[in-house]
Structure 1
Amino acid sequence: MNNYLTIFINGDPFNCDSSMSLKDILLYLNFNINSIIIEYNQDIINLSSFDSISLKNNDHLEVITIVGGG
């Protein structure tokens, strides 16, 4: 049985374990989950939902980083 799936993050293919949640993947990729916005299959996802989202093959994520400054 194949335990891996391919998702697309900002248009680039990424292979991950099928048991990883959205939060697991973002932390693995060193994103600061408190300063990003996630678009999951064209829907904006709330930070509180990151743990409960299980990804499927060919899902698309857009990660938008919020940058502070003055």
Structure 2
Amino acid sequence: MLDSTATSIILNGDRYPLHSDTPLAELLERLNMRRGRVAVEINREIVPKANYDVTIVRAGDHVEIINFVGGG
């Protein structure tokens, strides 16, 4: 359960705590996701990889992250 000072985003359909505006690149680091192996959509808009450092994730945003996995 979130405390009264926390806000949240919706991350892949689930509530995820976010205490302040956060750069997308930082969120990916927190989630241990390699930027080169993911695709990200925020509020139904695809975020180009070149914009991960400057894109800010805000409370209430709906974020979808798809992690690509290689195999054979």
TM-score range, shorter-chain basis?
Answer: 0.7 to 0.9
Match of 2:35 in 1: 33
Give the root-mean-square deviation of aligned CA atoms: 1.8
Deviation of the 1:69 alpha carbon: 1.8
Residues 36, 58 of structure 1: CA spacing in aligned structure 2 closer, same or farther, 3 A cutoff? same
Question: Is 1:8 the equivalent of 2:16?
Answer: no
The share of aligned pairs that are identical, in percent, is 30
Q: Report the TM-score, using the length of structure 2 for normalisation.
A: 0.82
Contact 2:40 2:64 in 1 (8 A): yes
**TM-score, structure 1 normalization:** 0.84
User: How many pairs align?
Assistant: 69
CA deviation map 1:4-38 (0-9, x unaligned): 53111101111123142111011011011110000
Where in structure 1 are there 5+ consecutive unaligned residues? none
Say if 2:59 is the partner of 1:52. Answer: no
Pair 1:66–1:22, CA change in 2 (3 A) = same
2:66 corresponds to which residue? 64
- 5+ long unaligned stretches in structure 2: none
